[in-house]
Amino acid sequence: MLSDLRTLARVLTDDLAPKTTTESTVLSERAHARLVRYGTVEQLEAARASGQVPVLLVPPLAVPAHCYDLAPGAEPANSVVEFLLSTGTIPYVIDLGDVSYSDRHMGFEDYFDRIVPRAITDVVDDFRSAPDAVDLMGWSLGGTLSLLTAGAHRELPIRSVITVGTPLDYKKVEPYPLVRALLRPTGGRPITYLMRALGGIPAPAVRLVYKATALDRELLKPKYILQNLRDTEALIRMQVIDRFQNSLPGYPGRVSEQMLVNLILRDEISRGTLHFGADTVDIASITAPVFMVGSHRDAIVSHGAAKHGLTLFADSVHTEFHTVETSHLGLLTGAVAEAHTWPAIDAFRKRIQEV
C-alpha cells in the first residue's frame, strides 16, 4: 500500500519517467534551425571509420525536436536516437524551435528551400566520411518536409527518405473529405483569414486537438493510473506521452494556410506536384529509395493515406511500405516501434546499401 502511494505521488508530481537526454553536441544555433549531433566522440569516430551513413531527423512542424529522444534509458524503449546509435549510426536532428506571431510569414518553402538543405550540407561537412550522404527521416509532417526537400533539390546528397506515419493522400484522412466539401465554395478563405489574424495555429490549440484524437485516453487517465500503480513501465510510458503532448508548439501562419489549401483542399501531395507561390515541387519523380510505415489504428493518418506512396513514388529505385498496428506516436516510439518500426528501418537502410 505504501509503495502504491509513493508511485502515485511520483506520477502526480511528474517524477516517474526519466528526464534524461542522450549525450549531444550543438553544431549551430540558427533561428528555427538549431542543429544537434547525438552520440559520444567514440561513437562518432566509430561511425566515421565504418562509413555508416548518418541520419538527419526532421521533426514535424508544431512538434518539438526531442520527439526523437523521448526518455532515453526508459523501458520500453522510447528514444529513436538511442536506437540509431545502437546500430552504429550517428543521428543529427534539426530543431525547428517554437514559433510566434513574428514568424507568421514562414511557409513550407522556408523549410524545403533553406532550413533543411542547409542542415543536410552541415551534416555532411561535420561527419566528414564517405559516401558524403545522409538519410532523411521524418515522423508525420517531418516526412512531408523531407520529401519536399528531396523533390525540390535533386542536387543534395540524400541517399534515402524514411517516413513514419506521413500522410500522402488527404482524401483518405478523416475528416478532411468533409472539410473539403464544406470549404470548397469559398476556397477556405474564412479559415485562412482567421489564421492570418492569429498568425498561425497557437500552441494551446495544437495541444488540444492532439489530445482530442485520443479523448478516451484523457478521460480514463485517473482510472488508468489507479489500475497500473504496480506497473511502472505503463505509467512511465503514460508520463512520457503527457510530457510530449504538453510541449507541442504552434504552426506558423503561412504554413497553416498552405496545409489547408495545398494539402487538404487541393490535395496536391497525392498527385505529386505541389505549388507554393513561385515554387513548384515534384515529389513524384524522386528517385532516391523511400521507406514508409502506417497503421490502421492511427487516429491522425489513415493507413491508406500513408500507403499511397507506393503508387506515388513510381520513379524511386526502391520503395517499401510496412504496416505496424499502433497509434500515431506509437509508430515512432515505444514498445511496438521498438519491436517492429525500428527493425524495419534498420533492415531498409542495410538493403539500400546494395541498391
Name residue, grid cell 495544437: 206
- Say if residue 131 is preceded by a cis peptide, omega within 30 of 0: yes
Domain that holds residue 349: 2-354
pLDDT digits (tens, 9 = 90+) for 216-268: 777 777 877 878 777 777 777 778 778 777 777 777 878 999 999 999 999 99
Backbone angles phi, psi at 331, to 5 degrees: -65, -30
What's the pLDDT tens digit per position in 133-177?
999 999 999 999 999 999 999 999 999 999 999 999 999 999 888
pTM (global) more than 0.75:
yes
Q: How far apart are CA 122 and CA 35, in angstroms?
A: 8
- The residue with cell 504496480 is 230
What is the enclosing helix (H) or strand (E) of 272? Answer: none
- Mean of pLDDT over the chain: 89
Q: Which long-range contacts (CB under 8 A, 24 or more apart) does 206-211 make?
A: 206/62, 206/248, 206/249, 206/250, 206/251, 207/245, 207/246, 207/248, 210/245, 210/248, 211/245
Q: What pLDDT, on the 0 to 100 scale, is given for residue 354? A: 72
* CA distances in angstroms from 208 to 17, 205, 290, listed in the order given: 23, 5, 32
Q: Number of structural domains, the chain?
A: 1
Helix, strand, coil % in the chain, rounded to nearest 5: 50, 15, 35
For residues 39 and 25, what is the distance between their CA atoms, to the nearest angstrom? Answer: 8
Q: What is the pLDDT averaged over residues 33-45?
A: 96
Q: What is the pLDDT of residues 117-134, one digit of tens each?
A: 999 999 999 998 878 999
| 285, HSE (Cβ side, Cα atoms, 13 Å) | 8
Confidence of residue 5 (pLDDT cuts 50, 70, 90): low
Average pLDDT over residues 317-322: 97
pLDDT of residue 345: 98
CATH number (domain holding residue 6): 3.40.50.1820
Of 14-23, 34-43, 110-119, minimum mean pLDDT range: 14-23
